[in-house]
Amino acid sequence: MTSLDYKGQDENFIERLEEIVLTNLENENFGVEELAITYGASRSQLHRKLKRIRGQSVSQFIRELRLREALKMLQKDVATVSEIAYKVGFSSNSYFTTCFHERYGYSPGKVKHQTTFEATTKTSFPTAIEKPFDKRKYIYRRFALGKPYGFLQLILKLNKSKLIMKKLSY
C-alpha cells in the first residue's frame, strides 16, 4: 500500500464522518457515541484515527463541522443567530456564541450584520478566517477581566507558575 492509498483512505474516512455528522446536524443529542455507532467503530478507535489524521478529538470535530455550517448559514442570512444555533445542533445560544467567537474571532451577530450590510451596500467584506484557538490567551483574557476561570489549571498545565505568580504580585 503506497502513501497515496493511505492518504486516500484518510480522506474517505473524513468525508464519511462529515457526511454522518451533517445528516444529524439538527440533532443536539448527536455526539461521539452516536457517531461511533453510525460509523461502525468503537469510540476509542474513532478517537485514535481522527486524532492521528486531524489532531483533534471527535467532539472537537463535530463542533467544528457545526460551526462551519453555522457560518455558511449566517453568510447566506438564512435565519436569526439563535435559530441557526439550534439548527446546527447547539442547545444553548450562549454556548454557541462562545464557541463561534473562539473559533472565528468574532461573534455570529457580526457575520450576520456584515452580510446584511453587504447586501444593502454591495461592498465586499473579507470572508471569515478561521484562527486556531489559543487556550493561554483565553485564560489570560478571562483573568484580566476579573473572571479567574481555570487559573489553577493554567498554573498546572503551563508549568509556568513562577512567572504567573510574579505577574500577579505587582
The C-alpha R_g of the chain, in whole angstroms, comes to 19
- Give 89's pLDDT tier (boundaries 50, 70, 90): very high
Q: Residue 154 — pLDDT band, cuts 50, 70, 90?
A: very low
pLDDT, position 37: 94
C-alpha cell at 11: 480522506
Q: Which residue has 464519511 as its cell numbers?
A: 16
Q: What is the pLDDT of residue 25?
A: 92
What sign does the CA torsion over 18, 20, 24, 30 have? negative
Please give the pLDDT value at position 114.
Answer: 74
- pTM score: 0.64
Residue 40 Cα to chain centre, angstroms: 24
Q: Per-residue confidence at 51, pLDDT binned at 50, 70, 90?
A: very high
Mean pLDDT along residues 34-60: 93
Average pLDDT, the chain: 77
Let me know how many helices (H) and strands (E) the chain has, helices first.
10, 0
Residue 45 to residue 118: CA distance in whole angstroms: 45
pLDDT at residue 139 above 80? Answer: no
Alpha-carbon dihedral 36, 55, 73, 142, rounded to 10 degrees: 110
